[in-house]
Amino acid sequence: MSPLQPVRGTHDLLPDEAARHRVVIEAARAVALRHGYREMATPIFEFSEVFRRSLGDTSDIVTKEMYTFTDKGGDEVTLRPEGTAGVARAVVSNGLAHELPLKFFYSGPMFRYERPQKGRLRQFHQIGVELLGVAEPFADIEVIALGAHILAELGLAGRTHLELNTLGDAESRGAYRKVLVDYLQGHRDRLSADSLVRLERNPLRILDSKDAGDRRLIAEAPVYGDHLTDRARAFFATVTAGLDAIGVGYMVNPRLVRGLDYYCHTAFEFIADELGAQSTVMAGGRYDRDSWRSRLPSP
């Protein structure tokens, strides 16, 4: 490839497209500020362990997609593949835990080594919010409502729909993991090579597989929601009741999972069907701060 061409999976933001990006970022920033979120920025690269320990060793991001290199000082660093891990690291390393709850907005480029295709680039731009230190389900309601307000501000509310699921608590995850493994062990011959590895290391990651054969098998798998604890069911019921109360429409998708190991309880995606395969325009979920903090390197 000519050195005068952009690297595969990247592209230039020429003035017209840069202007569209600016509209999205400024609209999101304005809505976030109205909701009490303060803007912050983390470095574009971090010590690799920040992502490896927080995103999970078996996530596709860590195993396949991170841009990792050793710098001239001998440190292993990684270009950020997402924003949440860096924000959590910043809270710990800057001693902000005593200021909880904290509400942050950020925007900027992220980097993942993926097969370039429509809707997926190796350098992409992302906006995000983090609400830290609120254990109650009302935090989930607030973040989802904020996402809906951003889409409405951009005139996209009528062109997207919200899908929800619950990933439950640790006890729910343990119970479901057992029945899922029992089911998948009976269909090992139908699993992709990647999912055979996941079956031994983290079988829940198979639920996020994009392989067509895996997807057919997953469609017949036991449903996560059938194995929730009473506490997890009550948590999700509060979330859906809260969304009903503020008029945010949704549909429950029992097969919805997110591709990162740190999610628990609520997971959500705003979908624009007209975009085809890459139809998710906004997504997120809850993570447990205490378990996350135990994974992060000491400051």
Query: What is the dihedral angle through the alpha carbons of 175, 180, 185, 187, rounded to the nearest 10 degrees?
Result: 160
Angle at 167 between CA 157 and CA 274, to 5 degrees: 30
Q: Could you tell me if 148 and 174 lie in one domain?
A: no
Q: Is 44 in the same domain as 150?
A: yes
- Quick one: 54 and 112 in the same domain? yes
**pLDDT confidence bin for 78, thresholds 50/70/90:** very high
Question: Is 248 within the bounds of a domain?
Answer: yes
Do 257 and 185 sit in the same domain of this protein? no
Range of the domain at 26: 15-169+229-295
Final residue before a domain boundary, out of 225, 247, 268: 225
Helix H or strand E encompassing 217: helix 212-219
Contact 9, 123 (CB under 8 A): yes
Q: CA 204, CA 200: separation in Å to the nearest integer?
A: 10
Shared domain check, 216 and 153: no
> Which of 239, 283, 292 has the alpha carbon at shortest distance from 257?
283
Examine the domain organization and report whether 78 and 154 are in the same domain. yes
82 and 119 assigned to the same domain? yes
Quick check: 35 and 246 in contact, CB under 8 A? Answer: no
> pLDDT-based confidence at 276, cuts 50/70/90?
low
Total tally of structural domains belonging to the chain: 2
| Structural domain includes residue 1 | no
> Does residue 4 lie within any of the structural domains?
no
Which residue, 225, 244, 267, sits at the end of a domain? 225
Residues 158 and 282 in one domain: yes
| Residue 2 counted as domain residue | no
- Model confidence pLDDT, tens digit, residues 154-184: 999 999 999 999 988 889 888 988 999 999 9
* 232-257 per-position pLDDT tens digit: 999 999 999 999 999 999 999 988 87
Contacts of 213 (CB under 8 A, 6+ apart): 190, 191, 192
Is residue 103 in some structural domain?
yes
- The H or E element spanning position 252 is strand 251-252
Q: Which of 64, 269, 291 is nearest to 151 (CA)?
A: 269
Tell me whether residue 6 is in a domain: no
At residue 102 the predicted structure's pLDDT band, cuts being 50, 70 and 90, is: very high
Do both 31 and 176 map to the same domain?
no
**Does residue 264 share a domain with residue 123?**
yes
CATH of residue 36's domain is 3.30.930.10
Same domain, yes or no: 235 and 274: yes
| Claim to verify: residue 174 and residue 291 sit in the same structural domain | no
The reply to whether 124 falls in a domain is: yes
Question: CA 256 from chain center: how many Å?
Answer: 12
* 156 in a structural domain: yes
3-state secondary structure at position 162: strand
Give all strands of the β-sheet with 280-287 in edge-to-edge order: 251-252, 161-166, 263-271, 280-287
Global pTM value = 0.87
Handedness of CA 78, 84, 87, 88 (dihedral sign): negative
